[in-house]
Every structure is written in C-alpha cells, then in structure tokens.
Structure 1
Amino acid sequence: MINIIELQKMKQFSKRKSSIGQLQLIPGIWINGKYFWLQNQMEKVIYEEGLIIKIKQKPIHSKIHYYRVFVSNHSNQAKDVKILAMHHFQNVNQDSLAFVSPTEQRIFHHSEEKVFLVNLKHNESEVKEYTTMPLWNVYTDQIWSSLDNGTLRYQPMAKGPAASILAENITVYPQKTETLSSWAIIGKNKREVLAIEQALLKIH
C-alpha cells in the first residue's frame, strides 16, 4: 500500500518528468545556404545532398533528456554542414527567459521556478555558436546574420515565448556517419543542472 509520502514523491516525479517534457528539441541542419528542421519527425533525407539526418532519444534519468543525432553522407563528396539544436517550450504562450552564459558556455532556460540547461556536443569540440530568439522568429530566416555562410544572428537573451539555438560545424566524409549528442537538464538552480551535466559527461 502506498503511503502519503510515497504518493507525494510520485507526484513530484511526474511533475518533473512533465516539466522537462515541455522543453522540446528540434534538430536541424544547414548546408550550402539552405537549412532544414526536423519538426515532428525523427529522420530527414536531403536527396540533393545525399544526406540523412536521424535523431534517437536515449533514456538516462528523469531530469535529463538525452539525444543522439546521426548525420550520414551517402554521396561521393565530403560535406561541410552545421548541425542545429533548437529548444523551446511546447506551450507557445509560456513565459520564460532564455539566455547565453558566456562564463559556462551554455544556454539556460528559466520557467516556472525551474532552470533548464541545454547543450550540443560533437566529439571533444567545444567550439559552437549560441543564440536565443523570440519564438516567432525561429522558423524564419531571421535566425541568420548570413544564411549563405551559415552564421547565426547572435542575441544573448530572449524573454517571453523564447527559443535557443546551438550550432556545431562538422565535416561528414563520403560514406561516413558523424554522431553528435544533445541534452536538456532540469533542476532547481544553475548549480544543480551544471552538477548533473558534469556527471553526465563523465559517463557519456
């Protein structure tokens, strides 16, 4: 029989799970002046470039959403691409704050007294682009300072319905697959989510 304390713990777990579930990942890819988002899909084929991008979620912990992004090159030429990891809340009316922290080189989302850390990683590379945007701009060309070069428009903070975008430049060689990791971590404060991420990086 479940006592009151256990029931409260179950409710708290369910609330944490649903809270992190509200912050969704939309992966994307830029190549040769064009970009594509994987909205409501786990795989996309870019026929004219011979590329396939896939995303798989890996269950790790109730406070972590962890994804692997696979980019496969089926052409006979090396492809220089930019992988995008956009995060925003499912509720477009949700009041939140997204900001880039230059000190931690991370993006944080604040909403309903919760802190979310989002990140993107390819091998040991720490060189990436960060930006935040009002939600109504993120599916438009407004995210780019140069679409031809694949350079994001830098905005360190966005309030209200907001999104964040991380980007990583990679080269995918012919008949090869490159793998990236992206994650979102929920906690009570910045210190907690950074500690969880440090533990995550030791394992993965």
Structure 2
Amino acid sequence: MNLKVPQNIYPLSRQSAIDQLEFVPGIWVNGKYYWMHNSSEKVIFEEELIIKVKLELIHSKIRFSSIYVSSHSVHPKEIKVLGMYYFSNVNQDHLAFISPTGKKIFHISKNNIFLVNAQFKGELLKEYTTVPVWSAYTDQIWSSVPAGTLKYQPMAKGPAASILAVKMTIHSRETCKLNSWAISGSNKNELLSMEQALLKNPLAFPFEK
C-alpha cells in the first residue's frame, strides 16, 4: 500500500495535525476494562490500582504519553494497559490499519498520515486492532473479555479507532510505565525516521535501553 498522501492545497488550520488525533488510555484487569475519559488519573478501588497519564511535549508532530500504573494490592496482578486513538472529528473519513510486519498502526486522513505505537520495557506492540468508532467502547473490541484478548481486525474505514493492548505483571507496591506515541507526517519514510529519532531520544526514554 502506498502511504504517501497528497500535498495540502488549502491553508493549514490553526489546530496542528497531531492534535486532531485523540488518545484515550485504559486498562483491563480481572475480566473488566476501564477507560479514562477526560482525566489524567483514575483510581480503581476494587483492584487497588491507580493509573496516571502524563503528556510529554517533545515535538510539534509527536504526541507522546507516559502511562503509569501503580498497585497497592498485596498480590501480583496480570493486567493489560490499553490505548485508543481516533480523530476528534468523528465524521472524518479516514483509514486505520495495522502493519503486521512492522508491528505498527497507521491512520490516513486527507493530507496526513499518522503512525501509532507503544513500548514497554523495550518491547514494541504485539496486540492491536482497528474498529468503527461507534463500537470502540463496547465489548465488540474483544474476542474474549474474560481473557482480555482483543478481536483482531487489521483495517477499518470511515470513522475508525485503533486500539493497542500491552500485557504486564504488576507486583505489590510497584509502579509500571508504558510509553505510547502518535506521529504525524506526509509519508511513511518521514514517520519511520521520526520514530527512530524518538526511540533514541534520552528525554523520552531516560532509563530505558
């Protein structure tokens, strides 16, 4: 698939391209899932978990988020941190798809292409899906809610969302960190170059090799 998009022939909006792509973090634990709507912190009392999200200002074309999950339970927990990306204009016609060889997610909309990815302890994405926006917050994103397994759908057209899931074991009194980012550009090579530069950026990954 050719990932080059046409040049913009209209004046640029005051809103940058990357700001059009919304990010909503979430978590799956013990057969239930929770989304963080318009909030940078969420406490799940019944699971003794706290989720915090910090947005890092790294580059005008990059939205970089750090998700911290802290456990106050005395028992280890198997969880999945979730990340959903979709356009703020839900009427916007675009294509969201997964590149299985590159293990990345792409969104194409009009004059822009976006790369979406995440990293936990040096490991990049292994589980992801794309869905219509109207089913993004429902059980339809899962092949099994009790097991926390996303339904694999490699492509969605129209108002669509991409969802990633990263599995981790969190121990008592431990805090785990997941990094996720979206990058905007005009072609695939530009996006991949920017991502490589980001992964080498000590400000983005100060303690990770």
After superposition, the C-alpha distances for 1:28-52 in whole angstroms (9 at most, x for unaligned) are 0000100000011111100001000
What is the identity percentage for the equivalent residue pairs of Structure 1 and Structure 2?
A: 57
> Conserved in 2, the CA contact under 8 Å of 1:106 and 1:118?
yes
Q: Equivalent residue of 2:124, what SS?
A: coil
Q: Offset at 1:127?
A: 5.2
Equivalent AA in structure 2 for residue 160 of structure 1: G
Mark the runs of 5 or more structure 1 residues left unpaired by the alignment: 1-10
Cα RMSD (Å) = 1.2
Corresponding residue of 1:58: 56
Q: 1:103 Cα deviation (Å)?
A: 1.7
Rounded to whole Å, the distance in 1 between the matches of 2:45 and 2:77 is 13
Query: Structure 1-normalised TM-score?
Result: 0.91
Structure 2 residue aligned with 1:180: 178
Q: Give the equivalent residue in structure 1 for 2:32.
A: 34
The CA distance in 2 between the partners of 1:128 and 1:44, in whole Å, is 25
- Following superposition, the deviation at residue 78 of structure 1 comes to 0.7
Is 1:98 aligned with 2:96? Answer: yes
Q: How many residues align?
A: 192
Does residue 167 (structure 1) correspond to residue 161 (structure 2)? The answer is no
Alpha carbons 2:119, 2:180 under 8 Å: kept: yes
Query: 2:36 and 2:126 mapped to 1: Cα distance?
Result: 20
Secondary structure of 1:21 counterpart: helix
Q: Could you say what secondary structure the match of 1:92 adopts?
A: coil
Distance 2:49 2:118 in 1: 20
State the shift of 1:128 in Å.
Answer: 2.1
Cα distance in 1, alignment partners of residues 113 and 153 from structure 2? 19
Aligned residue among 185, 188, 196 for 1:198: 196
Alignment partner of 2:149 out of 143, 148, 151: 151
Q: CA deviation at 1:126?
A: 3.1
What amino acid is the match of 2:88? Q
User: Residue 130 of structure 1: CA displacement?
Assistant: 1.2
SS of the equivalent of 1:20 reads helix
Query: Where has structure 1 moved over 2 Å in runs of 4 or more?
Result: none
Equivalences for 1:67-146 in 2 at 5 Å?
A: 67-126=65-124, 128-146=126-144
In structure 2, the gaps of 5 or more residues are 1-10
TM-score, reference length from structure 2: 0.89
Distance 1:176 1:150 in 2: 21
CA displacement, residues 104-140 of structure 1 (integer Å, 9 cap, x when unaligned): 1100000012100011110112352011001111010
Would the aligned equivalents of 2:85 and 2:162 in 1 still touch at CA under 8 Å?
Answer: yes
Check the 8 A contact 1:128/1:169 in 2, yes or no. no
3-state SS, counterpart of residue 96 of structure 2 = strand
1:18 CA drift (Å): 2.1
Distance 1:160 1:151 in 2: 24
- Name the SS of the counterpart of 2:123 in structure 1: coil
Q: Are the counterparts in 2 of residues 23 and 87 from structure 1 also a CA contact under 8 Å?
A: yes
**1:129, 1:152 within 8 Å by CA — same for their partners in 2?**
yes
Q: Distance in 2 between matches of 1:186 and 1:120?
A: 15
Residues 161-197 of structure 1: CA distance to partner in whole angstroms, max 9, x if unpaired? 0000111000111001000101000000111111100
